[in-house]
């Protein structure tokens, strides 16, 4: 698939690229996401890595499930067709050295933007690169919160 030209406002800063990434996957059930916009945020070869339960372990063992952007789109489109999905960042910790940055981005996911409680929370570990013209997402690696892995206070608002 051809790489879309990024909106300069989406990739100018660490804040703008992370905001664009969350915006791009959020929307009501059945609404086609702007996948060209989402693709434009990722460096060629970028990886999206959800942790998922290993089959046959009774829901005990997590393992990374490594995807490229097209694999991610294929994975989430059936869910987005049936369910509203709104994900927003609720806290962030950023470290930067030169042209690379690492962001711990704590998120909440809801089915509707006005849901009183999220159905899921977790942390995205986002690696970014600035080529001198713009920021690129190199990888996003995430894990959902669960009973055995609650989000530590330092990754929550005010933490």
Q: Which of 78, 82, 74, 79 is nearest to 38 (CA)?
A: 74
- The model's pLDDT over 58-104, given as tens digits with 9 standing for 90+, comes to 556 789 999 999 999 999 999 999 999 999 999 999 999 999 999 99
Domain boundaries, the chain: 8-155
Cβ contact 155:123 at 8 Å: yes
What is the pLDDT, as a whole number, of residue 58?
56
* Angstrom distance (rounded) from CA 17 to CA 11: 5
pTM for the whole structure? 0.92
- For 111, residues 6+ apart whose C-beta sits below 8 A from its C-beta are 83, 84, 85, 86, 119
- The model's pLDDT over 97-128, given as tens digits with 9 standing for 90+, comes to 999 999 999 999 999 999 999 999 999 999 99
* Angstrom distance (rounded) from CA 109 to CA 98: 32
Question: How would residue 57 be classed by pLDDT, with cut points 50, 70 and 90?
Answer: low
For domain 8-155, the CATH class is alpha beta
């Amino acid at each position: 698939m051809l790489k879309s030209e990024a909106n300069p406002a989406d990739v100018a800063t660490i804040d703008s690229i992370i905001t664009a990434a969350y915006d791009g996957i959020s929307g009501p059930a059945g609404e086609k996401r702007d996948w060209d916009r989402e693709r434009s945020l990722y460096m060629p070869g970028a990886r999206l890595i959800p942790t998922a339960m290993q089959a046959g372990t009774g829901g005990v063992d997590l393992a990374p499930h490594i995807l490229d952007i097209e694999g991610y789109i294929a994975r989430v489109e059936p869910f987005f067709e049936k369910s509203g999905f709104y994900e927003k960042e609720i806290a962030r910790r950023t470290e930067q050295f030169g042209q690379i940055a690492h962001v711990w981005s704590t998120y909440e996911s809801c089915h509707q933007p006005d849901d009183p409680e999220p159905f899921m929370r977790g942390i995205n570990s986002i690696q970014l690169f600035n080529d001198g013209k713009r920021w690129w997402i190199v990888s996003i690696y995430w894990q959902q919160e669960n009973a055995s892995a609650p989000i530590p206070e330092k990754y929550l608002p005010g933490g």
